[in-house]
Structure 1
Amino acid sequence: MSPEGKTLLNIIILGLGFMVIFTAFGTCGNIEQTVIKSFNSTEFHGSGYTSMAIIYAVFSASNLIAPSVIAVIGPQLSLFFSGLVYSGYIAVFIHPYTSSFYTLSVLLGIAAAVLWTAQGNLLTINSKDSTIGRNSGIFWALMQFRYILLVVSGEKRYFLVSDKDRQTVFITLTVISLVGNFLFFLIQRPDPEPAPSDASDILLTSCFIYKIYYLFSTEKSIQLAMTKEMLLLSIPFAYSGLELTFYSGVYGTCLGAMTQFGDDAKGLIGLSGILIGVGEILGGGVFGILDKCNRFGRNPVVFLGLFTHIVAFYLIFLNIASDAPVAPEEGTQMQAFIQPSVTVALICSFLLGLGDSCFNTQLISIVGFLFREDSASAFAVFKFVQSITAAVAFFYSNYFLLHWQLLIMVLTGFLGTITFFVVEWGVISSRRDSDYDSI
């Protein structure tokens, strides 16, 4: 197999592995808060929102050590062992206890930092400057096929949650996630660039020094975070964390709380997840395919993402009751601004997924392009900012009404789009200067 074919296969396997793991974890997250509310056991007093807040808080802090882990054991083993923790978190719901639930939440935060930093590192080392955009789109599209498989979470019987049904569901999800973990062992080491034979000892020594450096210091990540480009990108990073919280947890809870949708309201959570996935897949696939045809850089795609999200947020504001995120188990009794429509709600799900793919494919692409030599540290900073804002959002989701959550996202998204434009204009300008110098 050619080097180009091998690296493309690695990207496909990486995307499939994430798809399988997050099919299981995404289903768990979609139904988690609703399932927890239905527990009849007095021994369990957990909160899905609180768990997610813990996960993302620990996730953000753990990004400081993630490059060290990857430098020592490598990205492939980092993916595998982190994936095992995801499986453990899902398995907690087979026999739920409050202590084990929150303990696994902490461990999952650490694992998530390592998993996503390793993903960014593997994607970068399997890409060239000319293929980083395409590969980002392919990975994102494959990963988002998970939403098509989330139809299982839309089955009403899973929300009634008898002990037998709950155990069957979560045993199945645990096994599925383990399959995804083992897919990572199919990733092959990319062919190295040819180097002079007399440089092999120097290369080996430098690799060893590199690992020791990352083992004992996080200074590299901190220095990288202080660069102009990373400071500007931190705002769209933050926005991606806020909207991640919204579409992956809050919006599904809102749909399930809408009594105006009738008896099938909770079943809409799974269907909403599927349509989010359709938007994600469409966006990732199209932006990956068209990457080489885009003469205007990444800005048009990011602008499309902002426009798509603002339309979705406005429709959600009109269609969903303000207290839906914090409504009790029996649902909200408040009225929305318009007669609630299932069709509008599901269109918003699609728009949320499409807009998310616009932002994330371009963020992955620009980080991999700008910080190729320090990709592990760069993606650690990316995930640090994203996860800490996601943690904050999961925390305030327990208290803020819907319109306040939407306002926060609109303001952050608009500002983040502007700062992304500034960084991308710098990339385009440097390319033009490089082309001019080469004439």
Structure 2
Amino acid sequence: MSPEGKTLLNIIILGLGFMVIFTAFGTCGNIEQTVIKSFNSTEFHGSGYTSMAIIYAVFSASNLIAPSVIAVIGPQLSLFFSGLVYSGYIAVFIHPYTSSFYTLSVLLGIAAAVLWTAQGNLLTINSKDSTIGRNSGIFWALMQFRYILLVSGEKRYFLVSDKDRQTVFITLTVISLVGNFLFFLIQRPDPEPAPSDASESLLPADISDSNSVSLCSQAFEAFKDYLNCNVETMWLPICPGLELTFYSGVYGTCLGAMTQFGDDAKGLIGLSGILIGVGEILGGGVFGILDKCNRFGRNPVVFLGLFTHIVAFYLIFLNIASDAPVAPEEGTQMQAFIQPSVTVALICSFLLGLGDSCFNTQLISIVGFLFREDSASAFAVFKFVQSITAAVAFFYSNYFLLHWQLLIMVLTGFLGTITFFVVEWGVISSRRDSDYDSI
């Protein structure tokens, strides 16, 4: 197999592994709060919402140590061991105990930081400057198939007996383990002649080969790289972090609260998630395939993402009642600006997914391009800012009306797009200078 074919296969395996793991984990997350309420045991007193709060808080802080972990054991083993923690979190529901539930929540926050930082590092290792955009799109599209595969349905389907619950979570645990072991199919990319590639190894054994540097020194250097990453990286993930919160939590809540949609309002949440996934897959696939045909860089794709989201936000503003995010259990009684339409609501779901794929594929691409020499540290910064932003958005979503949330995303979307344009123009300028110097 050619070197480029091997690295492309690695990207496909990486995307499939994430798809399988997050299909299982996403299904667990969708049903865990409902399942917790149905437990027959009086010894368990956990809360799914509290668990998610713990996970996000630890996730944010753990990005500080993620580059060091990857420096010590390598990105491949980092993916595997982090994935095992995801499997362990799912397995807790087979025989639930409050202490083990919250302990795994803490460990999962740490594992999530290591997993996503290792993903960015491996994506960079297996990409060249000419293929980073294509590979980002392929990975993103493959991972987003999880939306299509997620178990969705009404809550009553998950109010099950202990035996049924154990069967469900044993199955999900096995599925997630399959995703973990897929990571072992990733092969070492063929080395390039550039001396900088010696530091970008796939297997942990390679890390200690260069200049007899100790593993502790490698970890310390990775932590310093994290702190020294370009400030531009700090700006880029803010907009996707806010939008992640909106399409993954707030928008579904809004649809379920719309009494004007009738008895099927709750059922729209699952359908909305599927259409978000369709938009993500379409965007990731198209932008990955067409990356080499794009003569104008990443800016047009990011601008398309901004335009798509602006259209979606405007339609949501017209179609959904303003108090839908904070409405009581029985739903909102406020009127939208237009007669609420299920069709418009689901079109907005697709646009949210499409716009998100525009942003994320290009952000992954440019971060991997800019920080090829210390990609683990750069992606740790990326996820650190994104997770903090998402946590802040989850917090204010409990209090802000819909129009204020949409306004925040519009403003940050404009600022994030301008920031991206500045960074991309810098990349284009450096390429031109390099081409001029080589003449």
What TM-score range do you get, normalising by the shorter chain? 0.7 to 0.9
Asked if 2 retains the 8 angstrom alpha-carbon contact of 1:78 and 1:114, the reply is: yes
Asked if 1 retains the 8 angstrom alpha-carbon contact of 2:301 and 2:362, the reply is: yes
Deviation string for 1:397-422 (max 9, x for gaps)?
Answer: 33333222222212111111111111
Q: Which moved more, 1:397-406 or 1:426-435?
A: 397-406
Cα–Cα, structure 1 residues 260 and 28, in superposed 2: closer, same or farther, change >3 Å? Answer: farther
Distance 1:47 1:328 in 2: 19
Distance 2:87 2:285 in 1: 28
Q: Which moved more, 1:390-399 or 1:185-194?
A: 390-399
SS of structure 1 residue aligned to 2:99: helix
In the TM superposition, residue 279 of structure 1 has moved relative to its aligned partner by 0.4
Cα–Cα, structure 1 residues 200 and 100, in superposed 2: closer, same or farther, change >3 Å? Answer: closer
Deviation string for 1:85-119 (max 9, x for gaps)?
Answer: 11222333445555444332222111110000000
Cα–Cα, structure 1 residues 195 and 129, in superposed 2: closer, same or farther, change >3 Å? Answer: closer
Cα–Cα, structure 1 residues 105 and 313, in superposed 2: closer, same or farther, change >3 Å? Answer: farther
Asked if 2 retains the 8 angstrom alpha-carbon contact of 1:256 and 1:269, the reply is: yes
List alignment gaps of at least 5 residues for structure 1. 205-215
Distance 2:78 2:292 in 1: 31
List alignment gaps of at least 5 residues for structure 2. 216-222, 236-240
Deviation string for 1:51-107 (max 9, x for gaps)?
Answer: 333322211211111011111111111111111111222333445555444332222
SS of structure 1 residue aligned to 2:145: helix
Cα–Cα, structure 1 residues 53 and 131, in superposed 2: closer, same or farther, change >3 Å? Answer: same
In the TM superposition, residue 199 of structure 1 has moved relative to its aligned partner by 11
> Counterpart of 2:343?
343
RMSD: 4.5
Cα–Cα, structure 1 residues 48 and 412, in superposed 2: closer, same or farther, change >3 Å? Answer: farther
Distance 1:259 1:391 in 2: 28
Matching residue within 214, 222, 229 for 1:233: 229
> Counterpart of 2:377?
377
Q: Which moved more, 1:427-436 or 1:261-270?
A: 261-270
When the two structures are superposed, what TM-score results if normalisation uses the length of structure 2? 0.85
In the TM superposition, residue 198 of structure 1 has moved relative to its aligned partner by 17
In the TM superposition, residue 277 of structure 1 has moved relative to its aligned partner by 0.9
In the TM superposition, residue 320 of structure 1 has moved relative to its aligned partner by 2.4
Q: Which moved more, 1:82-91 or 1:15-24?
A: 82-91
In the TM superposition, residue 129 of structure 1 has moved relative to its aligned partner by 0.7
Identity across the alignment (%)? 96
Asked if 2 retains the 8 angstrom alpha-carbon contact of 1:79 and 1:119, the reply is: yes
Q: Which moved more, 1:267-276 or 1:294-303?
A: 267-276
In the TM superposition, residue 354 of structure 1 has moved relative to its aligned partner by 0.5
Deviation string for 1:340-394 (max 9, x for gaps)?
Answer: 2221111111111101100100000000101101111111111111111112222
In the TM superposition, residue 140 of structure 1 has moved relative to its aligned partner by 0.6
Q: Which moved more, 1:178-187 or 1:11-20?
A: 178-187
Q: Which moved more, 1:104-113 or 1:155-164?
A: 155-164
Cα–Cα, structure 1 residues 121 and 23, in superposed 2: closer, same or farther, change >3 Å? Answer: same
Cα–Cα, structure 1 residues 84 and 313, in superposed 2: closer, same or farther, change >3 Å? Answer: same
Cα–Cα, structure 1 residues 96 and 201, in superposed 2: closer, same or farther, change >3 Å? Answer: closer
Asked if 2 retains the 8 angstrom alpha-carbon contact of 1:156 and 1:266, the reply is: no
Return the structure number with greater helix share: 1
Deviation string for 1:12-48 (max 9, x for gaps)?
Answer: 0000000111112222334455656777877666554
Asked if 1 retains the 8 angstrom alpha-carbon contact of 2:32 and 2:48, the reply is: yes
SS of structure 2 residue aligned to 1:43: coil
Cα–Cα, structure 1 residues 199 and 419, in superposed 2: closer, same or farther, change >3 Å? Answer: closer
Asked if 1 retains the 8 angstrom alpha-carbon contact of 2:55 and 2:109, the reply is: yes
When the two structures are superposed, what TM-score results if normalisation uses the length of structure 1? 0.85
Deviation string for 1:111-144 (max 9, x for gaps)?
Answer: 1100000000101011111111111111111111
Q: Which moved more, 1:136-145 or 1:79-88?
A: 79-88
Asked if 2 retains the 8 angstrom alpha-carbon contact of 1:127 and 1:135, the reply is: yes
